[in-house]
Amino acid sequence: MFIDTRRVEEGSVVDTTICIIGGGVAGITLALEMEKIGIETCLLESGGFAPDDDTRDLHRGEDIGLPYRFGDGCRSRFLGGGSNCWGGWCRPLEPWDFEKRDWIAHSGWPFGLEELAPFYARTHDLLKLGPKTFEPAFWEAAIGRKDVRRIPLTSGKVRDTISQFSPPVRFGKEYSENLKRAQRVRVFLYANVVNIETDKQARTVSRVKVVTLSGRTMYVSARQFVLATGGIENPRLLLASNKVQAAGLGNGNDLVGRFFMDHPRLLSGNIRFTKEWSRNKLHDIKYHYQNASVAAHGTHIASQFSLAPEVLKQERLLNAQVWFSSVFPGEGSEGAQALFRYKQALLHKEQPGWKPGRDLATMISHPVDTLAYGFTRLFQPRSLISSIKFQAIVEPEPNPDSRITLSATQRDRLGMQRVRVDWRLGEQVKRTFDRTFALLAEELRGTGIAAVALDPAIEGNPWPSTLEKEGTWHHMGTTRMHDSPRQGVVDRECKVHGMTNLYIAGSSVFPTAGANYPTITIAALTLRLSAHIVQQLKHPETGFAVSDMSSMNPQVANEPVKNRYASATPSLAGYPNLFIHPDSE
C-alpha cells in the first residue's frame, strides 16, 4: 500500500510494529521480508516514484576532503534509493575481508563469511542473478566462446574472479507491485524523517518525526526501528537527533560518521596484447559490461583480477580488483559523453538534469567523435582501439578521520543541518595500487600475453589527476559494526549499542569494505537482519510481550491474535485521495 504523506492529516500518529526509514535496497528488502511473514510494517521514503529536484536538494552538502562528488547522480532520493544509480555488479566479499588483518588498523568483522553465506544465496532471487556460483571455470565453460577466455595465471600471485550482473534491478520499479498489494506494509512517500525521539536515557526509540516539503508533520511509533537511508544519511540523522544526547544518538564514543569509506578508482599503464589475446572480451570492462557475448544461463558476467590472499598478507596490502579498459576513439569527447548518457538512460539510471535534446544537439555537432565512439562500442573492432589500460578499485583502509559531520552554517528546507563529507585516503591505498599493477604486469609479461608499460608510482606523491574523484559512490563504514561500543556504533546484530530497539541496515555498518561492490552484501546483511528481528518478535524472553506479536501472521506467531495495530489506519481513512499507486505519477 502506498500513501502520500503530503495528504495525511496534520499531526497524525501512525502505530506499527516495524518502522523502516529509507526505501532503498535495504529498506525495501526488509519490508518485503516483513510482508512475507505478516508483520505490520511502515516504510518511510523521502521521495516519490520519480526524482524531483526539491527532494534531491535535501542530500546536497559540503565536500571538504579529497575532491569528491557525493550528491547528484551518485545518490538517489526516491523509491528504490541507490538502486536507481546502480550498475548491477555483484560479487560477495572474500573470506579474508571479514578477518582481522594485523597490517590494516580497525579491520575485522564480528563474524565470518560463513555467517552470511546462506543469505548471499538468497540474494540471487532478489537481485535477479544467475546460478549460485562465482567459479571462473564454470562460467568460461558455460559461455564457450573463443573470444571469452580466461588468461592463464602461472605465478600463484594473481587470481581471476567472477562478478555477476543484476539487470540491474531498480527496486522501486521491480517491487512496486509487491508493495502496492502488500497487506501488512504501508509505504509513506514524501516522508522525511527529521528526528528520532527517545526516552530520557536515549535507550529506547519511541517515535520518529516525519515532515514533508509541503509542511505536513506526522509521527510514527513502533516496537522496532530500522534506519536504512545510506552511508551518508544514516549518520546524518543520528547526529541530528540530539535533543536527548547532545552528540547525537549512538554517539557516546564519538564514532557516528567516522570511518567513511569509498572505493577509489584509477586508470593506469599501457598494455599491448599479443595477437592471440588481443580480442579477448572476458576481462575488459569496455566489452564485458552487460554484454550478451559474455553471458550464460541468462546472466551477464565479468571477470577481474585480484592478488592471492597470501600475497596480500606477505606484502601487507589492501584488497583490490583490476580490469582491462580499452580506450576507444573519441573517448572523453563531448560527443562520446553525450552518447554515453543516452546509454545510461536506456538502463534507466538516474541522471539529474539530463537533457536529451541538448545531448542530441551535441552529438550532431560532433559527428566524428560520436560516430567513432559509438561504432567501436557497438561493433567492437579491435583495430580502432587506441590503447588499453588497467582500471582498478582498491579497498579503502578504515580511517577514523575520514568522516561525515554536520554543517554549522548550512541547513536544508526542512531545517536540518547539511552534511560535510571529508573523504580521506592514505598511503596504504597508494601502495596497494602500485603493487597490484606491478604484480599483474609481471604476470602478463611472464606468460607472454602482453607487454606492459607502467605509470610512475604514486606512493609518496600527490594523487594523480586520473584518480576518479567521485570514487565509486559506495558510501560505507559510518556506523560501523563491532562487538565493543568503543569501536563500533552497532553490534553484530546491527543494533545500535546501548539502545533497545534501533537497528541500522546498509553499507554504513561495514567495518571494512573489501574490493567488491557492496549491493549484494547490503542485501545479504538485510536478510540476516530480518531473520534476527523476526526471532526477537517470536520470543517473549527477548523483552517483547506476547501481545506485541499480534500483527504477525498466525503461522509465525505463537497463536492467532486479533491485530491490535489495525486501528493505525482509521485516522487516515477520511482521505479519499490518500492512497496512491506507482502509475499515478
Query: Which pLDDT score, from 0 to 100, does residue 579 have?
Result: 41
Mean pLDDT of 79-102: 96
User: Could you tell me the sign of the dihedral formed by the alpha carbons of 391, 397, 401, 407, in that order?
Assistant: positive
Please give the Cα distance from 432 to 315 (Å, whole number).
9
Least confident of 102-116, 265-279, 296-310, 465-479: 465-479
pLDDT given for residue 524 in this prediction? 98
Q: pLDDT confidence of 565, banded at 50, 70, 90?
A: very low
Query: Is the model more confident about 454 or about 359?
Result: 454
* Dist CA 198 CA 347 (whole Å): 42
At residue 360, what is the residue type? L
Tens digits of residue pLDDT in 241-300: 999 999 999 999 999 999 999 999 999 999 999 999 988 999 999 888 889 999 999 999
Which grid coordinates belong to 261? 569509506
Predicted confidence at residue 551, as pLDDT, reads 41
- Per-residue confidence (pLDDT) for residue 466, from 0 to 100: 73
Q: Where residue 545 falls among pLDDT bands split at 50, 70, 90?
A: very low
In this predicted structure, the answer to whether residue 577 has a pLDDT above a threshold of 50 is: no
The dihedrals phi and psi of 67, each to the nearest 5 degrees, come to: -50, 125
Helices in 84-242 by DSSP H: which ranges?
A: 113-126, 136-143, 171-174, 176-181, 233-240
Burial class (CB in 10 A: 0-12, 13-18, 19+), 63: middle
The ranges assigned to domains in the chain are 1-129+179-261+399-425+469-585
Cα–Cα distance measured from residue 325 to residue 287, given in angstroms and rounded to the nearest whole number = 9
Of 71 and 36, which is predicted with more confidence? Answer: 36
Evaluate whether 216 touches 8 at the Cβ level (below 8 Å): yes
Identify the three-state secondary structure at position 531: helix
Q: 1-129+179-261+399-425+469-585 has which CATH code?
A: 3.50.50.60
pLDDT(41) > 60? yes
> Which range has the worst mean pLDDT, 165-179, 199-213, 422-436, 456-470?
456-470
- The helix (run of H) or strand (run of E) holding residue 427 is helix 427-446
pLDDT at 270: 96
pLDDT at 379: 66
Mean per-residue pLDDT, 333-357: 76
3-state secondary structure 429-479: HHHHHHHHHHHHHHHHHHCCCEEEECCCCCCCCCCCCCEECCCCCCCECCC
C-alpha–C-alpha distance, residues 567 and 502, integer Å: 24
User: What pLDDT was estimated at residue 118?
Assistant: 97
pLDDT single digits (tens) 172-182 = 999 999 999 99
Which of the four pLDDT bands, split at 50, 70 and 90, describes residue 564?
very low
> In this structure, what DSSP letter does residue 540 have?
G
pLDDT band, very low/low/confident/very high, at 470 (cuts 50, 70, 90): low
Lowest mean pLDDT among 206-215, 457-466, 574-583: 574-583
φ and ψ at 52, to 5 degrees? -140, 145
Reply yes or no on whether the pLDDT at 193 is more than 60. yes
How far the first Cα of the chain sits from its last, in Å, is 15
pLDDT grade for 374, boundaries at 50, 70 and 90: confident
Give the confidence band of 578 by pLDDT, cuts at 50, 70, 90: very low
pLDDT at 154 over 80: yes
Mean pLDDT over each residue of the chain, to the nearest integer = 89
Neighbour tally for 291: CB within 10 Å: 18
Over the range 387-403, which residues count as b (16 or more CB within 10 Å of their CB) and which as e? Answer: ebbbbbbbbbbbbbebb
Question: Using H for helix, E for strand and C for coil, what is the string for 243-298?
Answer: CCCCCCCCCCCCCCCCCCECCCEEEECEEEECHHHCCCCCCEHHHHCCCCCCEECC
Contacts 24+ apart (CB under 8 A), 139-142: 139/296, 139/301, 139/303, 140/282, 142/296, 142/297
Q: Where residue 67 falls among pLDDT bands split at 50, 70, 90?
A: confident
Listed in sequence order, the residues at least 6 apart from 161 whose beta carbon sits closer than 8 Å to its beta carbon are 91, 134, 136, 303, 304, 305, 306, 321
